[in-house]
C-alpha cells in the first residue's frame, strides 16, 4: 500500500490540529454553527438525529493492521452514546424500542469508508489526533467536494486485471485532496476506477467512472464515463472518451469537474448531481469538457500531466510483497487435501466455493470475509472483531 512521506504525515496532522482549533472556536462561540458546519463536514463529521457520525476515509480500500487496531480503539473508547442520548434514541424507535443500538463498533461502507455513530463532538478532536497517528483522516468524506476514490476490492491481485488501478487511484487522491477550486461543488462528487475486465468497482454508477485499458499499440489509457449515479434518479454513466492517455487523467478530470462546477444546478439539491447536467445537456456537455480540456493543455500547459518519475514513485508502493518459501508440496496434492476437506465438511465446501477466489500468484488465494452476522447490522464490526 502507499507509504506516506514526511510531507503526507505532516499534512494529516496539521489538518487534525486545524480541526481542533475550529472545534474550540465553535465551542466558545467564536465560530457560528453555520460557519462550523461545512468545516466539520469536510472532515467527515455529520450531526444526525441522535448523535454525530464520523466517516473515516480508506482510500481505494487498502488498510493496514496498525490502522485497524486504531479503528478498534476508537470503537472501544469513544463509540458510546451518553445515557440521555441513548434513552432518546431507544424511545424514538417506538415499537422497536427494545431493539439493540450497536455501540463500540465501526461500520464498513460500500464505498470503502469506515463510520462511527456515537462519538460526541466534544471528543471529536481527540479522535482526529488518534487517526492522524496512523495516517488516517476524514478529509472530504462529506460535503460537496470530490469524495473518496474507490476501486476493485481485488485490485492488484485479480486474475482478470489488465492494469493495476491503485497507483492511479492514489495519484487522483493526492490531486483531489483540498483542491481549492472544487471545495464547494454543486453536490458531492464520486470517482471509481477499475483495471479489470469485470467491473467490480461499479464504475457506471459513479459521477466519473474510469476503465484502464490498452490500445492496439499496447499503450495504457482510460475509457472515461461521466454522469452515473444511483438514488432517486438511477443513471448509467455516459462514455465521453474511449481512450485517454494515462498521464492526462487529472487534466481531463479537472475539465470534467470544472464544467460541472460552472453549470451544475445549485437551486435544488435533488437535481444538482452531475448526472442531471449530463442528461439534460447531452453532447453539449461533452463538447464543453473537450473545449475546457484543450484550454488546460494549450493555454495552461497541462499543469496536472503526471510525470513518469512521479508515477514510478507511487507505483513502487504497490509491488507484490516478497513471500516466504512455501512448503515443497505439489499444487495437485494441496488441491486434493482441500477437496477432501470440502467433501467431509459441507459448510467449509460452501465457504471455499463462495468466499475463496483465484489470485495472480498461483500459490495464493484471495479470501472474502463477510460482515453479515446474526444479531448485527450488515457492515458492522465490534471493536473485538
List of residues 6+ apart from 132 with CB closer than 8 A? 12, 13, 15, 16
Q: Average pLDDT over the chain, rounded to whole?
A: 93
Residue 374 confidence (pLDDT): 83
Residue 359 confidence (pLDDT): 95
Residue 334 confidence (pLDDT) above 90: no
- Span 223-260, pLDDT tens digits: 999 999 998 889 999 999 999 999 999 999 999 999 99
Residue 102 confidence (pLDDT): 75
Residue 326 confidence (pLDDT): 66
Residue 96 confidence (pLDDT) above 50: no
d(CA 58, CA 111): 9
Are the beta carbons of 222 and 212 closer than 8 angstroms?
yes
Lowest mean pLDDT, pick from 88-92, 166-170, 332-336: 88-92
Q: Tell which wins on pLDDT, 96 or 137.
A: 137
Lowest mean pLDDT, pick from 143-152, 178-187, 315-324: 315-324
- Span 75-94, pLDDT tens digits: 999 998 776 677 776 676 65
Note the CATH architecture for domain 150-317.
2-Layer Sandwich (3.30)
**Fold match, 6-143 / 150-317:** no
Residue 15 confidence (pLDDT) above 80: yes
- Span 269-328, pLDDT tens digits: 999 999 999 999 999 999 999 999 999 999 999 999 999 999 999 999 999 988 877 666
Residue 100 confidence (pLDDT) above 70: no
- Span 193-220, pLDDT tens digits: 999 999 999 999 999 999 999 999 999 9
- Mean pLDDT value across residues 129-139: 98
Residue 305 confidence (pLDDT): 98
Hey, which CATH number is domain 6-143, 3.40.1570, 1.10.3470, 3.40.50, 3.30.70?
A: 3.30.70
Domain range annotation of the chain: 6-143, 150-317, 331-367
CA angle 114, 100, 70 (to 5 degrees): 30
Are the beta carbons of 318 and 166 closer than 8 angstroms?
yes
- Mean pLDDT value across residues 97-109: 76
Residue 97 confidence (pLDDT): 45
Residue 121 confidence (pLDDT) above 70: yes
Q: Three-class SS string for the chain?
A: CCCCCHHHHHHHHHHHHHHHHHHHHHHCCCCCHHHHHHHHHCCCEEECCCCEEEEEECHHHCCCHHHHHHHHHHHHHHCCCCHHHHHHHHHHCHHHCCCCCCCCEEEECCCCEEEECCCCHHHHHHHHHHHHCCCCCCCCCCCCCECCCEECCCCCCCCCECCCCHHHHHHHHHHHCCCHHHCCCCCCECEEEECECCCCCCHHHCCEEEEEEECCCCCEEEEEEECCECCCCCECCEEEEEEEEHHHHHHHHHHHHHHHHHHCCCCCHHHCCHHHHHHHHCHHHHHHHHHHHHHHHHCCCCCCCCCHHHHHHHHHHHCCCCCCCCCCCCHHHHHHHHHHHHHHCHHHHHHHHHHEEECCCCCCEEECCCCCCCCCCCCEEECCC
Residue 25 confidence (pLDDT) above 80: yes
Amino acid at each position: 500500500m502507499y507509504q506516506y512521506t514526511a510531507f503526507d504525515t505532516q499534512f494529516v496532522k496539521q489538518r487534525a490540529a486545524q480541526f481542533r482549533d475550529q472545534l474550540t472556536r465553535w465551542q466558545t462561540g467564536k465560530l457560528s454553527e453555520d460557519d462550523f458546519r461545512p468545516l466539520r463536514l469536510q472532515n467527515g463529521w455529520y450531526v444526525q438525529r441522535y448523535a454525530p457520525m464520523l466517516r473515516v476515509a480508506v482510500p481505494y480500500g487498502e488498510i493496514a493492521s496498525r490502522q485497524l487496531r486504531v479503528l478498534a480503539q476508537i470503537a472501544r473508547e469513544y463509540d458510546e452514546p451518553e445515557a440521555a442520548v441513548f434513552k432518546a434514541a431507544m424511545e424514538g424507535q417506538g415499537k422497536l424500542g427494545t431493539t439493540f443500538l450497536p455501540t463500540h463498533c465501526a461500520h464498513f461502507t460500500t464505498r470503502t469508508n469506515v463510520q462511527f455513530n456515537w462519538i460526541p463532538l466534544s471528543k471529536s478532536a481527540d479522535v482526529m489526533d488518534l487517526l492522524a497517528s496512523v495516517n488516517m483522516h476524514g478529509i472530504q468524506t462529506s460535503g460537496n467536494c470530490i469524495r473518496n476514490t474507490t476501486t476493485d476490492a481485488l485490485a492488484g491481485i485479480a486474475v482478470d486485471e489488465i492494469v493495476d488501478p491503485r497507483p492511479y487511484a492514489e495519484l487522483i487522491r493526492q490531486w483531489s485532496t483540498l483542491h481549492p477550486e472544487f471545495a464547494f461543488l454543486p453536490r458531492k462528487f464520486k470517482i471509481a476506477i477499475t483495471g479489470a475486465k469485470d467491473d467490480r468497482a461499479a464504475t457506471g454508477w459513479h459521477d466519473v467512472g474510469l476503465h484502464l485499458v490498452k490500445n492496439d499499440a499496447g499503450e495504457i489509457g482510460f475509457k472515461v464515463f461521466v454522469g452515473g449515479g444511483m438514488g432517486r434518479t438511477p443513471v448509467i454513466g455516459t462514455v465521453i472518451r474511449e481512450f485517454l492517455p494515462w498521464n492526462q487523467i487529472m487534466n481531463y478530470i479537472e475539465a470534467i469537474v470544472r464544467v460541472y462546477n460552472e453549470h451544475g444546478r445549485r437551486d435544488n439539491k435533488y437535481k444538482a448531481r452531475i448526472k442531471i447536467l449530463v442528461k439534460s445537456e447531452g453532447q453539449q456537455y461533452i463538447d464543453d469538457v473537450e473545449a475546457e480540456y484543450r484550454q488546460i493543455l494549450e493555454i495552461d500547459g497541462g499543469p496536472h500531466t503526471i510525470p513518469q518519475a512521479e508515477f514510478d514513485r507511487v507505483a513502487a508502493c504497490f509491488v507484490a510483497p516478497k513471500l516466504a518459501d512455501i512448503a515443497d508440496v505439489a499444487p495437485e496434492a494441496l488441491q486434493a487435501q482441500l477437496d477432501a476437506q470440502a467433501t467431509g465438511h459441507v459448510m467449509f465446501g460452501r465457504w471455499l466455493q463462495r468466499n475463496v477466489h483465484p489470485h495472480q500468484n498461483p500459490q495464493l488465494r484471495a479470501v472474502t470475509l463477510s460482515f453479515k452476522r446474526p444479531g448485527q447490522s450488515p457492515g458492522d464490526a465490534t471493536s473485538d472483531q
